[in-house]
């Protein structure tokens, strides 16, 4: 392989790595499931303590607006007293966050 081919191959690999999106299922399991439950019901010890909603419930899912969910994931959530209920997600692009929202919507029954 000549030098030019090697450089083009390396550039292609870097481009693929740069645009690769996080797997929403893996992100949810790693970041969200502790509170929201792996099944999205919020029936975990922490989820019950924080009042996590059941995303399998069609009414709950339908009431969740994408822009509100996006903002909550990007900025986190606090209660009226300023206590942190949910930290903002880390190291996710806007497209990753949109993929995570779509993944959560798939819990709807």
| Domains of the chain, CATH where assigned | 22-105 (1.10.760)
Q: For residue 17, what pLDDT is reported? A: 45
What pTM was computed for the model? 0.79
The pLDDT of residue 21 is: 80
Whether 1 has a pLDDT exceeding 90, the answer reads no
First to last CA, the chain: 53
Q: Which residue has the higher pLDDT, 104 or 16?
A: 104
* Rounded Cα–Cα distance for residues 38 and 107 (Å): 10
Give per-residue pLDDT as tens, 34-87.
999 999 999 999 999 999 999 999 999 999 999 999 999 999 999 999 999 999
Q: Are 95 and 60 contacting, i.e. CB atoms less than 8 angstroms apart?
A: no
Q: Write down the pLDDT at residue 13.
A: 55
Token pair in block for residue 52? 């996590």
């Amino acid at each position: 392989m000549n030098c030019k081919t090697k450089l083009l191959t390396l550039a292609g690999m870097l481009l693929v790595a740069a645009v690769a999106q996080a797997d929403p299922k893996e992100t949810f399991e790693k970041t969200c499931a502790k509170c929201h439950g792996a099944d999205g019901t919020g029936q975990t010890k922490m989820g019950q303590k924080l009042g996590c909603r059941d995303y399998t419930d069609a009414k709950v899912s339908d009431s969740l607006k994408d822009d509100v969910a996006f903002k909550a994931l990007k900025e986190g959530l606090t209660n009226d007293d300023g206590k942190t209920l949910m930290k903002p997600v880390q190291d996710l692009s806007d497209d990753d966050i949109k993929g995570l929202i779509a993944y959560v919507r798939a819990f709807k029954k």
